[in-house]
Amino acid sequence: MATIGLGIIFLWTLCALFPTIIAPKDPLRQELTNKTLSPGEKGYLLGTDELGRDILSRIIFGARTSMLVGVIVIIIGLSVGVPLGTISGYFTRLDRPIMVVIDALLAFPLILLSLIIVAVLGPGLFNAMVAVGISSIPGFTRITRGIILSVRERDFIKAARASGESNLSIMFIHILPNSLGPIIVQATIRFATAILAVAALSFLGLGAQPPTPEWGTMISTSRSYLYVAPHLVMFPGIAIMSVVLGFNLFGDGLRDALDPKLSQ
């Protein structure tokens, strides 16, 4: 299953890297005489949308947006959450104040917290990515803290302290590299969650704005045609489902590979 997930990720990554080569048409080109064509009609493999734009091309170009969303969100989550979790887990005096803030943020569902942040920053794809990235920080902080609390009591950490190494050296040279497995798994699964969250924000009009080819926006602008041309909503929905499924399968596979207890 992890191999299947990796294959799905690989295919979407190719679409994200080379959309101009793979896409058969310009995703922004409008042909009003060919609007809402059915799949396969007049050479359009997945049909056309309400403005006569090629749905396949827009989905392929939308992969670039979705993959970029995942990368930016993970960078924000890791760059803030991991250091915070490391400091919280290593320094007992700083643990309580940091975790009070983190627990307060965790009280909000991801999408609700993202909505609040976007409401403050304003609508737009970049702001949506920042909002989801900030919303992912508590999860990375919590899981990193839990790992650090376990690793810091091991014998090789005690030996490093006895040899006179600094706290900074112990945290980022000895403890953190031995804690990367669960963090990588969390990042992989959070990648899928980020794509889904930003697509939801775009559907609500708070993320990518038309005519940007983004899957959530495509579903939002096409929902009034659901009964007339359901393929306008169905194909972007399948794209979101497949990439989220791919990252979830791959994340589960990584978890099984990196945790010896699960493979026994």
Per-domain residue ranges of the chain: 47-263
Distant-in-sequence, close-in-space partners of 262: CB < 8 Å, separation ≥ 6: 255, 256
| Residue keyed to tokens 């295919």 | 11
Residue 262: per-residue pLDDT = 46
pLDDT average per 10 residues of sequence, the chain (264 residues): 92 94 92 90 91 94 92 93 90 88 88 88 90 92 88 82 82 82 87 91 88 91 89 94 93 77 48
Task: Tell me how far apart the alpha carbons of residues 45 and 232 are, in angstroms, rounded to a whole number.
Answer: 12
Which residue from 157, 190, 156 is spatially nearest to 81, judged by alpha carbons? Answer: 190
Contact indicator for 28, 211 with CB cutoff of 8 Å: yes
Q: What is the pLDDT of residue 155?
A: 83
pLDDT given for residue 259 in this prediction: 64
Can you name the residues that pair with 48 across neighbouring β-strands?
A: 54
Choose which CATH entry (1.10.3720.10, 2.30.130.10, 3.40.50.300, 3.40.605.10) describes domain 47-263: 1.10.3720.10
Give the model's pLDDT for residue 260: 52
Cα separations in angstroms, 55 against 68, 241, 252: 20, 16, 31
Task: Quote the pTM value.
Answer: 0.87
Nearest to 231 by CA among 35, 97, 64, 69: 35
CA distance 211 to 196: 19
Cα 136 to the center of its chain, rounded Å: 9
The CA–CA distances, whole Å, from 36 to 24, 39, 61, 187, 223 equal: 17, 9, 19, 38, 13
Please say whether the dihedral angle defined by the alpha carbons of residues 188, 193, 196 and 199, taken in this order, is positive or negative. negative
Token pair belonging to 53? 């734009």
Task: Tell me what pLDDT residue 263 has.
Answer: 45
d(CA 55, CA 194): 23
Rounded to an integer, what distance in angstroms lies between the CA atom of residue 263 and that of residue 253?
10
Q: Say if CB 154 and CB 147 are below 8 A apart.
A: no
